[in-house]
Amino acid sequence: MSNIAIFASGSGSNAENIIRHFSGNKKANIKLIFTNNPDAYVIERAKNLNINCLIFNREDLYVTDKIFNVLISNKIDFIVLAGFIWLVPDNIIKAYERRIVNIHPALLPAYGGKGMYGDRVHKAVIDNQEKESGITIHFVNQHYDEGDIIFQAKCTVEKGDSPESLAKKVHALEYKYFPTVIENILEGSQFSD
Ligand code: GAR
């Protein structure tokens, strides 16, 4: 059984979808949610789903080892970034090499990097008159959106699309694929017992 932690900064609809997917599943246990945002709706979702949620600040993540220590003491095997907008620090990257995945709401390597999250990504895609967008699930390294790509899926961008309508299409792909991609990685890995 692999213990999973999810990091989220906002609504947490992906976090909820992943939790629901794995509930009752013997291979994975979603043990903790972490958020940097005390106003994030993911906190409410965690409460409703009975998952412990830890709110942290920059110091907890980057200065002290507080978050790192919580991960280790809870025997977390695998980390999922689901709408998390801060960079993961080196100590966590090193301890969890190829055991942290992120979902990005566009087809990386395009439309990634610092500051590219949520509707900002969809607005840039529409402003550039792209015909396609989609999702990218990738391993996480020290740089924003640059780790090895694991999976991508596409959707079309229509002429009349707004950032909101494109976000809906992208979210649909995220809900469809993210949990099963995580499950496949866990099945192919050495770190579950
Ligand atoms: C998702 O679309 C995710 O791909 C995106 O934030 C949204 C979070 O939605 N992530 C990024 O932009 C990371 N650069 P949610 O909180 O409802 O799951």
19 domain-assigned:
yes
Residue 193: which pLDDT band, with cuts at 50, 70 and 90?
A: very low
Q: Which of 7, 11, 14, 145 is the best mutation target for the ligand 1 pocket, counting ligand atoms within 8 Å of the beta carbon and taking the most?
A: 14
d(CA 190, CA 193): 8
- Residue of 53, 137, 168, 171 to test ligand 1 pocket, by largest number of atoms within 8 Å of CB: 171
The string of pLDDT tens digits covering residues 17-57 is: 999 999 999 889 999 999 999 999 999 999 999 999 999 99
Q: Is 95 part of any domain?
A: yes
The CATH number covering residue 68 comes to 3.40.50.170
User: Could you report the per-residue pLDDT of 64-106, keeping only the tens digit for each?
Assistant: 999 999 999 999 999 999 999 999 999 999 999 999 999 999 9
- The answer to whether residue 192 sits within a structural domain is no
Question: To 10 degrees, the CA torsion angle through 165, 16, 182, 120?
Answer: 30
pLDDT for residue 110: 97
Secondary structure element (H or E) that encloses residue 174, with its range? helix 163-187
Give CA–CA dist 101/147, Å, rounded.
9
- Distance (angstroms) between ligand 1 centre and the Cα of 158 equals 21
3-class state of residue 58 by DSSP: helix
% of the chain surpassing 70 pLDDT: 97
Q: Is residue 193 part of a domain?
A: no
State pLDDT tens for residues 142-163.
999 999 999 999 999 999 999 9
Q: Is 8 in the pocket of ligand 1 (CB under 6 A)?
A: yes
For residue 74, tell me if it sits in a domain.
yes
> Ligand 1 centroid to 14 CA: how many Å?
8
SS3 122: helix
Q: Which domain holds residue 111?
A: 2-187
Residue 35 lies in a domain: yes
Strand order in the sheet with 2-7: 52-55, 28-35, 2-7, 78-81, 100-104, 132-139, 149-156
The CB density around residue 157, as the number of other CB atoms within 10 Å, is 20
Nearest residue to 135 via CA among 179, 87, 89, 98: 179
Number of domains in the chain: 1
